[in-house]
Amino acid sequence: MKRRIFMASAMAASFVLNAVPASAEKLSLNAISSYLNGLSKAKGQFTQVNPDGSLSKGTFYIKRPGKMRFEYDAPNPSLVVAGSGVVAIYDKKSNTGPQEFPLSKTPLSIILAKQVNLGASGMVSKHSSDGVSTKVTAHDPKRPEIGNIQMVFTDSPTELRQWVVTDQSGKQTTVILGKLDKNVNLPLSLFNVHDITEKLKRKR
């Protein structure tokens, strides 16, 4: 398992290193907040490093505010949808309904907020640059117990490349993003948790 984690970490570092020149400037919190507030919709491929070191791949969709969707490639039967104020985790091979959690109680709510303000008091605990990318670790100052999210950005142009979610138990999930397609039409049905649940029930 340690070898899988090391390989996944090396892959993430390689992706960022190859994405930008080594002279990238440290992005300000205001610049990052403006970027996220301007990211209204996007689609792209992702690679996920799970807490046990295993890898998953698939396609993700984001429609701010409040909506995100992760479709996992086979044989992974998972589907994760954020919408209607909740995060729903589906097992498409299971006869049970999804696990649901309030979006406000997950670190993803920071990215999906209607108005992102990383300069807010107590929100950012780390803000650094390694000359290649800017890393920001943030949490909800009103709910520090729900965990945090570390976001990795590159410059010229500013782009979100990766995030690491640390949940309340300390487990970490890393999501490495491919190129973002921002000129996409994303129907609201992609994020309608109730309708998705009903459709999956009918297929069983």
pLDDT at 22: 54
Determine whether domain 2-11+22-203 maps to CATH 3.40.50.720: no
Question: What is the per-residue pLDDT for 4?
Answer: 47
Series of mean pLDDT values for 10-residue runs along the chain (204 residues): 46 50 79 97 97 96 98 95 96 87 94 95 95 95 94 94 95 96 96 92 76
Identify the DSSP state of 124.
E
How confident is the model at residue 20, as a pLDDT? 46
Closest CA to 161 of 7, 3, 11: 11
Query: Cα angle vertex 90, ends 88, 93, to 5°?
Result: 170
CA distance 172 to 166: 4
Long-range pairs of 95-99 with CB within 8 A, sequence gap ≥ 24: 95/204, 97/197, 97/201, 98/193, 98/197
Q: Is the dihedral of CA 172, 176, 182, 185 positive or negative?
A: negative
Residue ranges covered by each domain of the chain: 2-11+22-203
